[in-house]
């Protein structure tokens, strides 16, 4: 069973516009959520995270929103740049887990056109 | 090196053979993880090491999979009697103490023919 789902395999946006990547989860025990970014032939790199006690977290051009009632989170990138083109994974962790045991979504390929 | 290093980067093997995948974590990182990514799927947790012990090996898919870590550093993931469904990218990650900031290696692409 897929506990973390990214239903859009790909997203294409124009440079300067907003990119919105979505993620849904089914397990209400998840209480920490993360986004990772992956370029081809490289490992994923941590981007931004959010705890379930918050509904928004910002870091520069990246903002993550969490809607606990809908079990939905989204990553907003504003403005999008061609260098943002990569695969984006959302991930979730169980409450009380003190190590990096993460459940990942399938990933969304973001393409930002110049 | 500055990052997590994995070798080999690519491995092609025949069904039934054993393979060993190696991970060199970032120096000083006590936590080490193995994940795998099958085609079209997200990353799947396999095993977690703290130092040389593995408090969580719940993600290992079968007893054909084993892993060890020595000297609190290098880790080896061994797959015995490989099957075609073992074909995937195997990713190693390490972390110091802020666990959300896992640092991943580039992975080993395993193809079982």
Please tell me which residue, A64 or A2, carries the higher pLDDT value: A64
pLDDT band at B96 (very low <50, low <70, confident <90, very high): confident
B93 and A CB contact within 8 Å: yes
Residue B1 pLDDT greater than 80, yes or no: no
Nearest to B42 among A43, A98, A107 (CB): A107
- Report the b/e string of A11-45 with b at 16+ CB within 10 A: bebeeeeebbbbbbbeeeebbbbbbbbbeeeebbe
Q: What is the pLDDT of residue A100?
A: 81
As a whole number, mean pLDDT of residues A55-76 equals 97
Closest-CA distance of chain A to residue B83, Å: 22
Across the interface, do A102 and B102 touch by the CB < 8 Å criterion?
A: yes
Q: What is the pLDDT of residue A95?
A: 64
The whole-angstrom separation of Cα B11 and Cα A51 is 38
Q: Among B32, B47, B16, B19, which residue's Cα sits nearest to residue B110?
A: B19
The whole-angstrom separation of Cα A20 and Cα B22 is 36
- Which single residue is written with the structure tokens 């990138």? A77
The whole-angstrom separation of Cα B21 and Cα B91 is 10
As a whole number, mean pLDDT of residues A73-92 equals 97
Task: Give contacts of B 31-90 with A, CB under 8 A.
Answer: 31, 33, 35, 40-45, 48, 50, 56, 59
For residue A14, say if its preceding peptide bond is cis, omega within 30 degrees of 0: no
What are A44-61's pLDDT values in tens digits? 999 999 999 999 999 999
Joined tokens for residue A27: 């397990």
The whole-angstrom separation of Cα A74 and Cα B3 is 29
As a whole number, mean pLDDT of residues A22-34 equals 94
Across the interface, do B105 and A105 touch by the CB < 8 Å criterion?
A: no
Q: Please, what is the average pLDDT of chain B?
A: 93
pLDDT band at B41 (very low <50, low <70, confident <90, very high): confident
């Amino acid at each position: 069973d897929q506990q973390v789902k990214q239903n859009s395999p790909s997203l294409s946006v124009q440079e300067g516009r907003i990119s919105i990547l979505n993620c849904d989860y089914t397990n209400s025990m998840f209480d920490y959520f993360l986004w990772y970014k992956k370029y081809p032939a490289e490992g994923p790199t941590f981007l931004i995270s959010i705890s379930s006690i918050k509904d928004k977290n910002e870091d520069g051009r990246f903002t993550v929103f969490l809607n606990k009632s809908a079990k939905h989170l989204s990553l907003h990138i504003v403005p999008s740049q061609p260098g943002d083109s990569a695969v984006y994974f959302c991930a979730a962790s169980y409450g009380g887990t003190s190590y990096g045991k993460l459940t990942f979504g399938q990933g969304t390929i973001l393409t930002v056109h110049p | 090196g500055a990052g997590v290093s994995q070798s080999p980067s690519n491995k092609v093997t025949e069904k039934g053979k054993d393979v060993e995948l190696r991970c060199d974590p970032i120096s000083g990182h006590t936590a080490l993880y193995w994940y795998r990514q099958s085609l079209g799927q997200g990353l799947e947790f396999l095993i977690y090491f703290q130092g040389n012990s593995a408090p969580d090996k719940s993600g290992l898919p079968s007893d054909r999979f084993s892993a060890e870590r020595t000297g609190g550093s290098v880790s080896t993931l061994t797959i015995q009697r490989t099957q075609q469904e073992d074909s995937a990218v195997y990713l190693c990650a390490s972390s110091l103490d802020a666990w959300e900031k896992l640092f991943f290696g580039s992975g080993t692409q395993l193809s079982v023919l």
